Amino acid sequence: MTVHFRTMSGSMTLVDLKKVSVRAGAVRILDDVTVTIAAGEAVGIRGLNGSGKTTLLRLLATLHPLSGGSGAVLGADLDTSDKYDVRCAIGYIGHQPGLYPELTLLENLSFVARSRGLTESDARESLRMVGLEGAIDRRAGHTSHGMQRRAEFARLLMTQPTLLLLDEPHSALDADAVELVDGLVDRTLDRGGAAVLVSHQPDRLESLVGRTYEIRGGTLR
């Protein structure tokens, strides 16, 4: 069961991490991370390579277990099986594209569409929205990294997640595609969702997010 709760300002809290730590063996990847993100908020995370940005994002995506502390995402406790119930409402784009290189862009998106009870025409429409209508029959493995990124944005436009988690969303993008990221974040916030964007390019984040954290040695500052 998922329960959303409200902050003192009245907005719904979508992410609530309290003294969270993540370890891999003896190595502490995240340490004492406390952060709250309300509906309608976009938060930026910046930091150097290996500072724990991606792990934090995967933790918020419910894909990485907690080692200590407590946390809730979209009202689901990260330590319980409740987290599986909210996964549909999470849109995550990681470093590597979540696409099958042997399938065409349309087949990739149709797979997601059908899995979510949507149709192939929804997939087609989303690809059109990101400017890939001319490449729908190209295999994902035969497209540029920028086109693959666009296809992933198309997936998020189609599935309309409540919590948007983007890892280095601006990498390999041309100016038009950068606007797509802005549009995607705006749409999510307008729907009452939240967004967390990770980047090591602070200037890219500034215009999109309300507040920015720096992550250093696994600790948010």
Rounded Cα distance, 29 and 120, in Å: 40
Closer CB to other proteins, 51 or 159, in the complex? 159
Amino acid present at 129: M
Going by C-beta distance under 8 Å and a sequence separation of 6 or more, which residues neighbour residue 168? 95, 198, 199, 200
Q: What is the DSSP letter of 170?
A: T
Q: Give least dist CB 22 to other proteins, A.
A: 15
Asked if 198 and 57 count as a contact pair (C-beta separation under 8 A), the reply is: yes
Residues near other proteins (CB under 8 A) are 58, 61, 63, 65, 84, 87-88, 90-92, 94-100, 102-103, 107, 111-112, 114-118, 122, 125-126, 139, 157-161
Please report how close the Cβ of residue 207 comes to other proteins at its closest, in angstroms: 26
Nearest approach in angstroms of CB 191 to other proteins is 10
CB of 178 to other proteins, least distance (A): 22
Could you identify the residue written with the tokens 């309290």? 18
Report helix, strand or coil for 220: strand
The minimum distance between CB 87 and other proteins, in angstroms, equals 5
CB contact set of 5 (below 8 Å; sequence gap of 6+): 12, 13, 16, 75
Give the count of beta carbons closer than 10 Å to the beta carbon of residue 134: 9
The residue among 186 and 206 lying less far from other proteins, judged by its C-beta, is 186
